[in-house]
Chain A
Amino acid sequence: MTMPLMRPPRKNPVLRTRQMNLPPGARGRVALGLTAAAAEGRFELQTCEDCGTVQYPPREVCHKCLSASLRWRAQSGEGELLGSTTLHHSNDLFFRERLPWRLGLVHLDAGPTLMVHLHGEVGDAPTRVRVGARLDRAGQAVLIGFPNEGSAHMADDKMLREMTSDPKFRKALVTDGKTETGQAIVRALVKAGADIVWVGHAEPWKKMGDGLDDISALPQVTLVPLDLTNGRQVTELAGSIGGKVDIVINNAEVHRTFGIGARRGTDVAKAEMDINYFGLLRLAQEFGPALKGRSADGATGATAWVNLLSIYALSNFPPHGTFSASKAAAHSLAQCLRAEMRPAGIRVINVFPGPIDDEWNQHTPPPKLAPTALANAIVKALRDGVEDVYPGDVAQEWLERWRDNPKVLERELAAGG
Chain B
Amino acid sequence: MTTTTELMSAAEILGGLVTAMASGRIRVIDLTQTLTPEFPQIALPPEMGQCWPFRIEEVSKYDERGPGWYWNNFSCGEHTGTHFDAPIHWISGRDLPNNSVDTIPVQNFVAPACVIDCSADVQGNDDYLLSVVDIERYEAAHGRIPKGAWVLMRTDWSKRSDPKAYQNFDETGQHTPGPSTEAVRFLVEQRDVLGFGSEAIGTDAGQGYHLRPPYPCHYYMHGAGRYGLQCLSNLDLLPPAGAVLICPPLKIEKGSGSPLRVLALVGASA
Residues of A within 8 A of B171 (CB): 207
Q: Are A204 and B163 in contact (CB under 8 A)?
A: yes
**0/1 string, A22-44, CB within 8 A of B gives 1:** 00000000000000000000000
Q: Are A230 and B164 in contact (CB under 8 A)?
A: no
Number of B residues contacting the other chain (C-beta, 8 Å)?
A: 19
Q: Are B170 and A207 in contact (CB under 8 A)?
A: yes
A10: interface (CB < 8 Å): no
Residue of B at shortest CB range from A233?
Answer: B37
Residues of B within 8 A of A149 (CB): none
A231: interface (CB < 8 Å): yes
**0/1 string, B151-168, CB within 8 A of A gives 1:** 000000000000110111
Residue of A at shortest CB range from B164?
Answer: A205
Give, as a whole number of angstroms, the nearest-CB distance from B38 to chain A.
Answer: 8
B17: interface (CB < 8 Å): no
Picked from B43, B53, B166, the residue with its CB within 8 Å of the CB of A229 is B53
Q: How far apart are the CA atoms of A268 and B37 in the complex, in Å?
A: 19
B57: interface (CB < 8 Å): yes
User: For window 47-106 of chain B, which residues contact chain A by CB distance below 8 Å?
Assistant: 49-50, 52-53, 55-57
B109: interface (CB < 8 Å): no
B242: interface (CB < 8 Å): no
Q: Are B37 and A206 in contact (CB under 8 A)?
A: no
Give, as a whole number of angstroms, the nearest-CB distance from B152 to chain A.
Answer: 24
Residues of A within 8 A of B38 (CB): 230, 233
Q: Are B169 and A207 in contact (CB under 8 A)?
A: yes
Q: Are B169 and A267 in contact (CB under 8 A)?
A: no
Residue of B at shortest CB range from A360?
Answer: B46
Residues of B within 8 A of A271 (CB): 50
Q: How far apart are the CA atoms of A271 and B169 in the complex, in Å?
A: 22
B267: interface (CB < 8 Å): no
Q: How far apart are the CA atoms of A330 and B237 in the complex, in Å?
A: 50
Say whether, besides A230-B37, A233-B37, A206 and B43 are in contact (CB < 8 Å): yes
Q: Are B57 and A231 in contact (CB under 8 A)?
A: yes
Picked from A204, A231, A265, A268, the residue with its CB within 8 Å of the CB of B55 is A231
Residue of B at shortest CB range from A257?
Answer: B47
Q: Are A204 and B164 in contact (CB under 8 A)?
A: yes
Residue of A at shortest CB range from B163?
Answer: A205
Q: Are A203 and B43 in contact (CB under 8 A)?
A: yes
Give, as a whole number of angstroms, the nearest-CB distance from B270 to chain A.
Answer: 33
B148: interface (CB < 8 Å): no
Residue of A at shortest CB range from B36?
Answer: A232
Give, as a whole number of angstroms, the nearest-CB distance from A240 to chain B.
Answer: 15
Q: Can you pick out 25 interface pairs between chain A and chain B where the beta carbons lie within 8 Å of each other?
A: A204-B163, A204-B164, A205-B43, A205-B163, A205-B166, A205-B167, A205-B168, A205-B169, A206-B43, A206-B167, A206-B169, A207-B170, A227-B37, A229-B53, A229-B55, A230-B37, A230-B53, A230-B55, A231-B55, A231-B57, A232-B37, A233-B37, A233-B38, A267-B52, A271-B50
